[in-house]
Amino acid sequence: MEPVFAILTTAAGLFAGTNIDDMVVLAVLNVSRRADGRPKAWQIWIGQATGIAALVLVSLLAALGLRLIPAGWIWLLGLVPISLGVRKLIIAIRAHATGATVSAAVATGLPGVIGLTIANGGDNIAAYTPVFATRTPGAIALTIGVFAIGVPLWCLAGSWLVSHHRITGMIQRSGHWIVPAVFITIGMYVFYKAGVLGL
């Protein structure tokens, strides 16, 4: 098994990188909560936890199925997050050229927060699945543990960002560049784990 520190830092980077756009969503949800009381704080927290748990569960199930792929072909899984990262990078470049912006939706209850979390994090499955497929059960358990700690930290940060508009603006401006870089890095990590890079 990998060193525990390497597993923990990789898991933290994976969670943060794939959920950086969710920080803006959380900030918007908290703005809505402070403005008219909807959604409630507990709905944001439980909705986030449930949505992330659903994404992780789907990724785990997909990873278990992908273990049927011969070890010599497992590197192909790295193409998924790389292609996703390249696609997101192209979208970011086009949006930058046209000055287009992405608006965040606001949910008003628990089902809405869960749905928004899953919809916003649907691409996370493409990143989590190959990572889970190339890790040992112990490393997967540690990764999920980091995610479990990350969710409440993310919720706290999302609430804190409401009063720090400069940080929210920075995430809105830079998130579309950070996310593609993270997905491409994850793909390269899968290549590394599969021995394709020969490092």
Would you list the domain boundaries of the chain?
Answer: 4-193
- Give the N- to C-terminal CA distance of the chain in Å, as an integer: 17
- pLDDT value of residue 1: 57
pLDDT higher than threshold 80 for residue 44:
yes
pLDDT higher than threshold 80 for residue 173:
no
Q: What is the mean pLDDT of the chain?
A: 78
Residue 106 or 98, more confident: 98
Helical H runs in the chain? 4-18, 20-36, 41-66, 79-98, 110-120, 124-133, 137-161, 165-193
Provide the whole-model pTM.
0.68
- pLDDT value of residue 104: 40
Q: Which of 119, 96, 124, 118 is nearest to 183 (CA)?
A: 124
For residues 23-41, average pLDDT: 75
One-letter amino acid of 64:
L
**Tokens 């809505």, located at residue:** 32
Share of residues in the chain with pLDDT > 70 (%): 77
Indicate the pLDDT class of residue 103, thresholds 50, 70 and 90.
very low
- pLDDT value of residue 170: 59
**How many CA atoms are closer than 13 Å to the CA of 115, on its beta-carbon side?**
8
pLDDT higher than threshold 70 for residue 177:
yes
pLDDT higher than threshold 80 for residue 96:
no
Separation CA 128–CA 186 (nearest Å): 9
The 10s digit of each residue's pLDDT in 117-153 is: 877 776 788 789 888 888 888 999 999 999 999 999 9
